[in-house]
Copies of this chain bind each other. A is one copy, B any other.
Amino acid sequence: MSGKAHDHTAVLTQVRRLLPQDELLCDLGDLFKIFGDTTRIRILYSLFESELCVCAIAELLQMEQSAISHQLKILRSAKLVDCRRDGKTNIYFLADDHVRSIIGQGYEHLTEEEKK
């Protein structure tokens, strides 16, 4: 894109070799994008303690049931949560322990910056 600049072909060929495929990098971005929303983070955190039905989450977060449903659909399509039917209600729960690890790492980054 840029015109000719100072040379860094040496470093670049090495970095380029070790850079993952675009598809993986894209998938990673998409995954983290899902964690990048306060509502979804709050939903996931809620499910840390207990599985919950949709209206319980809505009540807990003081949000419309519809908004929660939309977000749960996104979380589900990313395989971060799953659900089962129980009569009229749908019970949602964490589908993956990576959710805890990922959020945990983020938490650590934040609290370490705090100390400085």
Contact = CB atoms under 8 A, between A and B. Distances in A.
A30 to B, nearest CB: 8
A40 B33 CA distance: 12
Contact of A49 (B1, B14, B30, B96): B14
Contacts of A55: 2, 5-6, 8
A94 B115 CA distance: 19
Interface in A72-108: 79, 89, 96, 98, 101-103, 105-108
Interface of A: 1-2, 5-6, 8, 11-12, 14-16, 18-20, 22, 24-38, 40-42, 45-46, 48-50, 52-53, 55-56, 58-60, 62-65, 79, 89, 96, 98, 101-103, 105-110, 112-113
17 contacts: A1-B64, A2-B58, A6-B55, A6-B89, A11-B56, A14-B49, A15-B46, A15-B50, A18-B49, A19-B60, A20-B45, A29-B38, A29-B40, A32-B36, A33-B36, A98-B108, A98-B109
